[in-house]
């Protein structure tokens, strides 16, 4: 088991959530993940990371699979201009490689925002630290695990 996958497992265990992590043939994109688990595209909680221009920190936007983060709305919501987060920043602050960023189990705390669309489902699926692993969770349980605030940041 990879270090990334172990951190996700540990975060779920620490929250006392008996959630199974599913290995797929590939879940690098939201569509691939939805196809792999047989759910609607919007039930995939995409972890999109931006770099705060003034803070230099990674900022996580959890969005429904078919939604796109709208940069101006996201900037207004988090209170700073946003730039592209490169692979080094994502890895350094979350501990995950792009394509497998989990919303939980980060190396250091990351500010997070959640797309209200995800709250319309009883179950959403999120990356579990690798491009091939996902887990299902009630979005109401995901919010306190991530510390995410809801807000309008999608196009």
Tell me the per-residue pLDDT of 102-140, one tens digit each, with 9 for 90 and over.
Answer: 999 999 999 999 999 999 999 999 999 999 999 999 999
| Confidence class for position 6, pLDDT limits 50, 70, 90 | very high
Quote the pLDDT of residue 71.
93
Residue tagged 């500010």 (tokens):
111
Q: What percent of the chain has pLDDT over 90?
A: 95
Tell me the per-residue pLDDT of 143-154, one tens digit each, with 9 for 90 and over.
Answer: 999 999 999 999
Quote the pLDDT of residue 26.
86
At residue 48, φ and ψ (nearest 5 deg) are -110, 125
Average pLDDT, the chain: 96
Indicate the domain borders of the chain. 3-150
- The answer to whether the CB of 4 falls within 8 A of the CB of 90 is no
Tell me the per-residue pLDDT of 64-100, one tens digit each, with 9 for 90 and over.
Answer: 999 999 999 999 999 999 999 999 999 999 999 988 8
| Confidence class for position 1, pLDDT limits 50, 70, 90 | confident
Residue 28 pLDDT more than 90?
no
CA 52 to chain centre: 17
Domain covering 3-150 assigned CATH 3.90.960.10 in the classification: yes
pTM of the model: 0.95
* DSSP sequence for 13-36: HHTT---PEEE-S--SSHHHHHHH
In this structure, the chain runs to a length of 155
């Amino acid at each position: 088991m990879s270090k990334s996958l172990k951190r996700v497992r540990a975060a779920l265990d620490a929250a006392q959530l008996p959630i199974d992590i599913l290995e797929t043939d590939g879940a690098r994109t939201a569509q691939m993940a939805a196809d792999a688990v047989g759910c609607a595209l919007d039930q995939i909680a995409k972890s999109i990371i931006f770099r705060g221009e003034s803070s230099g920190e990674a900022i996580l936007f959890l969005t429904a699979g078919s939604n796109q983060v709208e940069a101006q709305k996201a900037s207004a919501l988090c209170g700073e201009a946003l730039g592209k987060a490169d692979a080094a920043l994502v890895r350094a602050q979350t501990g995950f490689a792009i394509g497998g960023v989990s919303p939980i189990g980060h190396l250091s705390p990351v500010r997070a925002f959640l797309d209200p669309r995800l709250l319309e489902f009883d179950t959403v699926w999120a990356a579990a630290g690798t491009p091939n692993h996902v887990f299902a969770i009630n979005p109401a349980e995901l919010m306190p695990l991530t510390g995410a605030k809801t807000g309008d940041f999608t196009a």
